[in-house]
Amino acid sequence: MKINTTELFTIFQMRSTNDIGLVTERVQGSTQIELSELVCSTICENILWKPVSCQQCETHFCSMCIRQWLTNHPNQCPMRCNTFIERPCSKFIARQLAKLQVVCIYQTNGCNEVS
């Protein structure tokens, strides 16, 4: 089975969006939300996806990003805390993320769904 370049790009885009953060280009009409507060700025620089935080410094990371980081840096927080201890993201961040209007990953194929 051959996959053309467009299909390969779509597959890569799907994987990257679901694993390492949500690209800001997919967020629409969320002018009252400061997106810079919702970014995994130290690792993938995308909008947080399935966020968790460090118990010590309370910095938020995409769950997949921090897992990849910890593979190469066991128990080390990217923000240089003593030890990374995972905890759920703050309720404030969760509420802000829930307010985002995100266009479907298949928008380029004609899907107009916004969630």
pLDDT tens-digit readout, 45-73: 889 999 999 999 999 999 999 999 999 99
Largest distance between two CA atoms of the chain:
49
The single-letter DSSP state of residue 57 is: T
For domain 5-109, which CATH number applies: 3.40.50.1700, 1.20.120.450, 3.30.40.10, 3.30.450.30? 3.30.40.10
Extents of the domains making up the chain: 5-109
Q: What is the pLDDT of residues 28-48, one digit of tens each?
A: 875 677 788 888 878 888 899
Q: Is the model's pLDDT at 89 over the cut of 90?
A: yes
